[in-house]
Chains A and B, each alone.
Chain A
Amino acid sequence: MMETFYEVMRRKGISRRSFLKYCSLTATSLGLAPSFVPQIAHAMETKPRTPVLWLHGLECTCCTESFIRSAHPLAKDVVLSMISLDYDDTLMAAAGYQAEAVIEEIMEKYKGNYILAVEGNPPLNEDGMFCIQSGRPFVEKLKHVASGAKAVIAWGSCASWGCVQAAKPNPTKATPIDKVITDKPIIKVPGCPPIAEVMTGVITYMLTFERMPELDRQGRPKMFYSQRIHDKCYRRPHFDAGQFVEVWDEESARRGYCLYKMGCKGPTTYNACSTVQWNEGTSFPIKAGHGCIGCSEDGFWDKGSFYDRITTIHPFGVESNADQIGGTAAAVVGAVVAAHAAISVAKRSIDKSRERSTTANH
């Protein structure tokens, strides 16, 4: 029952050579020194696989779609074998009662030792009726499974922040995981979807070192989310030089200038796209000529246009950007100052002429 990762991999026909290659690759992608490679290999040879229960709430399954495309072909196979993915209603063969029974079995057998991965989030309005699974609201299932988990991974922007279903006015009251599960360590892996290698990297780290990766203030693993897209963007020299794409489909766009003026959210988005990239490191949005839309940021749907640099804020219930609100306020103040100055001048000249006429009368 308690197979090690290495045994599973060998059983699946992966050679030892490929296995060691995988270990080196993992060490590299985690930014570790070569001396860590034997440690990773050792861990995978000796450690029993950690069961993972993967739940799906309100979501679009793009996290799973990304995950199964984990770049290195070996990684894809290995990661699916590495963890003992005992429940994932999208990927598992079992269905119905049989599938649901697995949850209870794992929860009992590995109490306090399994990882709960959540894709999507629970809607809380109408007692959670907007997302029903196996006959009951998803929020109940989530709380139930989380109760015995060692840690919770919140996959994607849905589980981390709420994403599109939590965009204003959020009719179903879709709520991110950390607002529902408050007594377990939660790792947020935001993105819509997150990068495949980021997902597998987080899991590999947790299995290898048997601890949570170091998290930032917002609960994201520092190794992938400590820098903005902008900090490592290959178009950054154009930004610093002041060379911008002004409109789509003209010379500056063809030259690959900075997309800042086109509303690129790279300067405000924490993710690994500009380093890890997508689809086996093929490309990422900016490389393809489109600005970043900031999909791994909290509430990115509610910030107005993807194509504006200065975006909507919602102070005092007004939906406008800072320049519209502030510029209008400043213009009003300017007009008041001008009017006041005009009245002051008029009043002063009236007072003066009155003074003069009083003096003349004397």
Chain B
Amino acid sequence: MTTASRADAPVGDALAVAQAPSIKSVYVFEAPVRVWHWINALAITVLALTGYFIGKPLPTMPGEASDHFLMGYIRFAHFTAGYILAIGLLGRIYWAIVGNYHARELFWLPVTNLAYWREVFRMLLWYLFIAARPNQYVGHNPMGRFMMFTMYLLVVIFMICTGFALYGEGAQAGSWANRLFGWVIPLFGSSQDVHSWHRLGMWVMVSFVMLHIYAAIRDDIMSRQSMVSTMISGRRTFKD
């Protein structure tokens, strides 16, 4: 269609749209899940960045101590993002209970279901360039779901437990964090060990984020199913 005719047409590109091949879409992720996802993504970004610099601080600041509060602000950002992450997870658990089927996929794996594992294997073949096409899935693909459960959910629970245990050290005995998560410290042996494991958890989360983003973008392009926009609009579209 030429530019001129487009300008003339009061109905826009209605004709082109009408002639285009139709694609099917299914509503997957309800609004609270999508909002949670993006807030969470932001929180994790802030947590990983600030956490890195808490363990390995930036070069020393010049001047008087009272001129700066750099480490204080970095730690404040870390703790705030940590609260958002934890409260977000609680909200997400609530939504898993009241939301649709796909809202629950993150929280459990059908480990005894052989058909599930067959699908995981099938996705593995797709990622290894052996299968030409992936199967179509409305929710998480089975392998993605496995990753979400093991590398996201379990890791994030680990990070919340160790993180608030460490936060409880600063908030000191009697604080809610110390009461609720203080038991984590002796479990690991000492505070220093909890710090080390918490930092290792950060690297696992960084690895997860890389895989997650890569897989989402790649499948968006190559699997002929929408991925990235699904987390914005909530609809999974199937292009054939």
Contact = CB atoms under 8 A, between A and B. Distances in A.
Interface residues of A, number: 56
A91 interface: no
A347 interface: yes
B169 A341 contact: no
B10 interface: no
Contact of A226 (B66, B173, B203, B221): B173
Given A231-B170, A303-B193, A340 B70 contact: no
Bin chain B's interface residue count.
Answer: 35 or more
A303 B192 contact: yes
Contact of A246 (B55, B59, B169): B59
Contact of B203 (A218, A238, A325): A325
B203 A242 contact: no
B84 to A, nearest CB: 22
B149 to A, nearest CB: 18
B27 interface: no
17 contacts: A217-B186, A237-B65, A240-B71, A243-B61, A260-B57, A268-B191, A268-B192, A303-B193, A312-B196, A313-B196, A322-B203, A325-B203, A326-B199, A340-B127, A344-B218, A344-B222, A348-B222
A310 B222 contact: no
A83 B185 CA distance: 34
Interface stretch (A20-28, A62-70, A137-145, A292-300): A292-300
Interface of A: 216-218, 222, 226-228, 231, 237-246, 252, 257, 260-261, 265, 267-270, 294, 297-300, 303, 309-313, 315, 321-323, 325-327, 329-330, 333-334, 337, 340-341, 343-344, 347-348
Contacts of B68: 241-243
B202 interface: yes
Interface string B219-239: 001100000000000000000
Contacts of B58: 242
Interface of B: 55-61, 65-72, 74, 127, 129, 169-170, 172-173, 182-183, 185-186, 189-193, 195-197, 199-200, 202-204, 206-207, 210-211, 214, 218, 221-222
B143 to A, nearest CB: 14
Contact of B196 (A241, A269, A310, A329): A310
A216 B211 CA distance: 42
Contacts of B170: 231
A310 B199 contact: yes
- Most chain A beta carbons < 10 A, residue from B66, B71, B74, B202: B71
Given A268-B192, A321-B196, A217 B185 contact: yes
A265 B193 CA distance: 12
Contacts of B200: 313, 315, 322, 325-326
A217 B59 CA distance: 37
Nearest to A216: B173
B147 to A, nearest CB: 12
